[in-house]
Amino acid sequence: MYLSVVSPVYRAEEIVEQLVSEIHQAVSKITDAYEIVLVEDGSPDQSWKAIQTVCQQDKKVKGVKLSRNFGQHAAITAGLEIAQGEWIVVMDCDLQDRPDEIPHLLAKAQSGYELVFAQRQVRQDGFFKKLSSKLFYKVFSYLTDTVQDSSVANFGIYHRKVIDAVISLGDNIRFFPTMTQWVGFKKAYLPVKHDERVSGKTSYSWKKLIELAFNNIISFSDKPLRLTVRLGLLMSLFSVLLGMGYLYLYFTDQIKQLGFASIIISITFFSGLIIFILGIIGIYLGKTFEQVKERPTHIIDQKLNF
């Protein structure tokens, strides 16, 4: 198998057939030794029936159904574990990632790179989606001390050894773009066109985006813990300055009601600070608890054309 195309499928019953058709048109020009791996991630619509239909008609299409919704990046991991190609393309199912860019990505990779990220020139997303994405990547870059690009998502082409390295990572929280950045290897970026969604709307609500961002920051960095140490030092310095200020007011007879304001402010402020720091520590302990249980990131229910 020379080339595998992996796509997680969610709320895509109307576009599965078009997705497969466009991938065929793009990839068949490169090689006959390819496969299309569609991973249905517990979608509430009839996406699995659509996958079953195309699998019956086309043996190059392989269908995978997860036992429930595990999330986009867990679905990508399931597809990567099954894909057999020397080169593997990962793309979303909504056709915003254009299949006709696959030959260009492969050509770039064959010029001496092990992974090539598709860099969206003009994102065809709503204002708030683009704003939230830029904000997430800026915060994520700062908290992980890495350089992240908001124009890069899942779409790209990856050599087998890159995918094997990504699969070997034991992280319970999966985030494909960051994992591919972390494993290293020789990488390149290729500007590509980005289309509007063919149908439906994104399944990422603000709540899911915030949860995704928070989980990944906790998973890939301990910087929030280190920032609480800095915060604690700043608060200690603030307390010293506050104490000196109160001493000045006391010796200049400017304090009329002794002790009341300083006690209430100190108790309220430092209680909140302590609870905040304990909360950060508790979150990391909770994620550690989830990790040590070593539960699988996904469970496969059915497979077709294997």
pLDDT in tens, 40-56: 988 888 899 999 999 99
For residue 260, what pLDDT band results from cuts at 50, 70 and 90? low
> What average pLDDT is seen over the chain?
80
Mean pLDDT value across residues 253-269: 67
Go through 64-85 and write b for each residue having 16 or more CB atoms within 10 A of its CB, e for each that does not.
bbbeebbbbbbbbbbbbbbbeb
pLDDT the model gives residue 178? 79
Closest by CA to 284, choosing from 208, 197, 224, 232, is 224
The pLDDT, as a whole number, for residue 204 is: 55
Please, how many CA atoms are within 13 Å of residue 64, restricted to the half-sphere of its CB? Answer: 26
The confidence score (pLDDT) of residue 89 equals 93
For residue 263, what pLDDT band results from cuts at 50, 70 and 90? confident
Tell me the pLDDT tens digit for each residue of 103-150.
999 999 999 899 999 888 766 566 666 676 677 777 777 766 666 666
Convert the pLDDT of each residue in 181-196 to its tens digit. 878 888 888 888 877 7
The DSSP secondary structure of 170-221, one letter per residue, reads: --SS--HHHHHHHH--SEEEEEE-BPPPSSS--S--HHHHHHHHHHHHHHH-
- Between 180 and 151, the more confident residue is 180
What's the pLDDT tens digit per position in 2-22? 899 999 998 888 888 999 999
Per-residue pLDDT tens over the stretch 233-256: 777 677 777 777 777 777 777 766
**Alpha carbons 117 and 105: distance in angstroms, whole number:** 8
What percent of the chain is modeled with pLDDT above 90? 24
Max CA-CA distance within the chain? 90
Looking at residue 259, what is its pLDDT?
Answer: 64
Q: What is the pLDDT of residue 40?
A: 92
The reported pTM is 0.71
Please tell me the predicted confidence (pLDDT) of residue 125: 60
Q: What angle do CA 175, 181, 186 make, to 5 degrees?
A: 145
47-91, pLDDT tens digit by residue?
Answer: 999 999 999 999 999 999 999 988 888 899 999 999 999 999 999
The average pLDDT across 150-164 equals: 86
pLDDT at 235: 73
